[in-house]
Amino acid sequence: MSDWTLELDLRPGDGPLFRQLHAGLRRAIADGRLAPGARLPGSRTLAKRLGVHRNTVLRAVADLTADGWLETVQSSGTFVAADLPRRPPPSETTGPTYPLPPGPPPDDRRPPDDPAILSFTSLPDVERIPQAAWARAWRRVLGRHGRVALDYADPRGDRGLRAALAHMLATTRGLAIGADDVLITRGSQMGLYLIGAALLGPGDVVAVERLGYAPAWRALAAGGARIAPIPVDEGGVDVEALARRCRRENIRAVYVTPHHQYPTTVSLTAQRRLRLLDLAVEHGFALIEDDYDHEFRFDGPPLFPIASVDRRPVIYIGTLSKVLAPGLRCGFVVAPPPVLERLVARRLDIDRQGDGVGERALAELFAEGEVQRHVQRMRRLYHRRRDRLAGLLRAHLGDTLDFAVPAGGMAIWARVNPAVDLERWSAAALARGVWLMSPAAMVADDDPPAGLRLGYARLAGDTLTRAVRALAAARRDGRRGG
Ligand SMILES: Cc1ncc(COP(=O)(O)O)c(C=O)c1O
């Protein structure tokens, strides 16, 4: 009871106050609001706070002590008993009294929380963020602009950061845009959810890559839309299969990852990009382009987004989750003004606006060139890790995995020898401290591929070697088991 004051509803006239106090304290203990071992204030303090006579407190405390709810330790005070007479079963306090609709499926995309487990996730290495410069920028913004930055503000996000993002997109991705063409969201996930809420409804169909990024599908379908899986091959999403589907039914939106297809890492061919744009115009669907890892292209020239060819049919989505850190929750959407207006209206309903201080601090990091330098450093680092992982996989798992080295990104997609029981291998790997994402989490129907997305961005030198060796050892365990 040292931080907040526990409020008790005592009403003169509703019976003796010592009984009301007794019942109130007992309920607070039984509900867990007063934890076992918590110290009660002294009787004088409590009496003063509650506006009752000290004898009232003493009597209630004496009765609760006799009942086993409180215990008094000589010269130390009165405490909630460590061993309570009756703990309510959890269902009594945690379950609602009304029926719940069916819940979402379990999230099998997340690695276990255990830091000792090496995970082939494609999340970035956050150890290397420009921490000191970032902390300075935060402090500066709070000190100089705190009053404004902490107020209600533009739901599209801080104008300085929008301008910095627009400048980045114009110079590095061929998008001729300005600050007002950008909506900053809490991660691209929010952008996708806003699109689902603002543009799609029950009965609408969203075409997605059959192998793809399930969180995006869930966000787009949250408003009631139906997901239609389109096959993916070495050239990215099969655009002719999409064309056939468009002739059969009315597709309202298409969600794709053309830069490095998730999870297969292939880049959508130039011809398919143009065909996709034509189809979007012909059939009147919104083309949602998720350009989540644009910065990480190692081989060949940069690959501009589809939106750089024609922005009108495209809703372009990007994120700083891969470049800086996922916990930053900073993504952005670029779309024609009437579309952005709809998204902004939805944003106002659920979140009002982003993090004013954080966005201004980020804008300062862009202005200082910190983000740009960080991107360059990470691009070199991930390039090395990609090559290292490719070499290790060839050396240790050459007979089990078949893969093409991706031109960039944060993961290698490997097809698994059909003779291998992938589920069993993953379980054996986990027993050896290595986590693999299940391909079942990346498929829009019931036919998971025999493939693995092996993220390398977070695995530094020796760790990468250890992780691949453990995978190879787990593979041998599987073989011995039959
Ligand atoms: C395909 C894809 N899109 C987007 C994201 C980023 O999501 P967010 O910006 O919500 O962190 C990820 C990250 O895992 C991703 O793999």
Does the pLDDT at position 482 exceed 60?
no
* DSSP 8-state code for residue 402: E
Domain end point (choices 350, 368, 386)? 368
> Going by C-beta distance under 8 Å and a sequence separation of 6 or more, which residues neighbour residue 62?
none
CA of 123 to the centre of ligand 1 (A): 9
The reply to whether ligand 1 has any atom less than 6 angstroms from the CB of 78 is: no
What is the pLDDT confidence band of residue 227, given thresholds at 50, 70 and 90? very high
Mean pLDDT throughout 186-212?
A: 97
The reply to whether ligand 1 has any atom less than 6 angstroms from the CB of 187 is: yes
Domain end point (choices 332, 353, 368)? 368
- Strand segments, DSSP code E, in 90-246 are 118-119, 182-185, 205-209, 226-230, 232-233, 236-237
pLDDT of residue 93: 63
In a domain, 107, yes or no: no
Claim to verify: residue 377 and residue 322 sit in the same structural domain: no
**By CB neighbour count within 10 A (0-12 exposed, 13-18 middle, 19+ buried), where does 439 fall?**
buried
Contact present, 415 and 92 (Cβ < 8 Å)? no
In a domain, 97, yes or no: no
What secondary structure does DSSP assign to 7-59, as a single string? P----TTSS-HHHHHHHHHHHHHHTTSS-TTPBPPPHHHHHHHHTS-HHHHHH
pLDDT tens digits, one per residue of 347-360: 999 999 999 999 99
Ligand 1 binding pocket mutation candidate from 123, 208, 321 (most atoms within 8 A of CB):
321
- Shortest-distance atom of ligand 1 to CA 320: 9
CATH assignment of the domain containing 26: 1.10.10.10
Claim to verify: residue 418 and residue 335 sit in the same structural domain: no
CA of 455 to the centre of ligand 1 (A): 14
Mean pLDDT throughout 86-105?
A: 74
Highest mean pLDDT among 7-16, 54-63, 151-160: 151-160
pLDDT tens digits, one per residue of 230-264: 999 999 999 999 999 999 999 999 999 999 999 99
Claim to verify: residue 349 and residue 417 sit in the same structural domain: no
Claim to verify: residue 415 and residue 364 sit in the same structural domain: no
The reply to whether ligand 1 has any atom less than 6 angstroms from the CB of 209 is: no
In a domain, 156, yes or no: yes
The reply to whether ligand 1 has any atom less than 6 angstroms from the CB of 326 is: yes
pLDDT tens digits, one per residue of 375-423: 999 999 999 999 999 999 999 999 999 999 999 999 999 999 999 999 9
Does the pLDDT at position 481 exceed 60?
no
Cis, peptide link before residue 263, omega less than 30° from 0: yes
In a domain, 8, yes or no: no
The reply to whether ligand 1 has any atom less than 6 angstroms from the CB of 261 is: no
pLDDT tens digits, one per residue of 260-298: 999 999 999 999 999 999 999 999 999 999 999 999 999
CATH assignment of the domain containing 164: 3.40.640.10
* DSSP 8-state code for residue 356: H
Claim to verify: residue 208 and residue 357 sit in the same structural domain: yes
pLDDT of residue 1: 44
* Residue 156: domain span: 129-368
Beta bridge partners of 476: none
Contact present, 125 and 457 (Cβ < 8 Å)? yes
Claim to verify: residue 52 and residue 193 sit in the same structural domain: no
CA 413 to chain centre: 21
Domain end point (choices 312, 341, 368)? 368
What is the pLDDT confidence band of residue 115, given thresholds at 50, 70 and 90? confident
The reply to whether ligand 1 has any atom less than 6 angstroms from the CB of 20 is: no
Claim to verify: residue 166 and residue 228 sit in the same structural domain: yes
What is the pLDDT confidence band of residue 84, given thresholds at 50, 70 and 90? confident
Q: Nearest Cα to 302, choosing from 424, 209, 172? A: 172
Total domain count for the chain? 3
The reply to whether ligand 1 has any atom less than 6 angstroms from the CB of 336 is: no
In a domain, 326, yes or no: yes
The reply to whether ligand 1 has any atom less than 6 angstroms from the CB of 124 is: no
The reply to whether ligand 1 has any atom less than 6 angstroms from the CB of 213 is: yes
CA 289 to chain centre: 18
- Shortest-distance atom of ligand 1 to CA 122: 14
Claim to verify: residue 148 and residue 249 sit in the same structural domain: yes
Across the chain, what does the average pLDDT equal? Answer: 93
Mean pLDDT throughout 304-328?
A: 97
The reply to whether ligand 1 has any atom less than 6 angstroms from the CB of 425 is: no
Would you state the structure tokens that stand for residue 87, as one six-digit string?
């703990």
CA of 13 to the centre of ligand 1 (A): 59
Claim to verify: residue 317 and residue 187 sit in the same structural domain: yes
The reply to whether ligand 1 has any atom less than 6 angstroms from the CB of 321 is: yes
The reply to whether ligand 1 has any atom less than 6 angstroms from the CB of 257 is: yes
Does the pLDDT at position 10 exceed 90?
no
- Shortest-distance atom of ligand 1 to CA 123: 14
In a domain, 364, yes or no: yes
pLDDT of residue 7: 81
Claim to verify: residue 67 and residue 136 sit in the same structural domain: no
Claim to verify: residue 234 and residue 135 sit in the same structural domain: yes
CATH assignment of the domain containing 402: 3.90.1150.10
pLDDT of residue 33: 85
Claim to verify: residue 320 and residue 197 sit in the same structural domain: yes
What is the pLDDT confidence band of residue 75, given thresholds at 50, 70 and 90? confident
In a domain, 58, yes or no: yes
Does the pLDDT at position 104 exceed 80?
no
Does the pLDDT at position 25 exceed 70?
yes
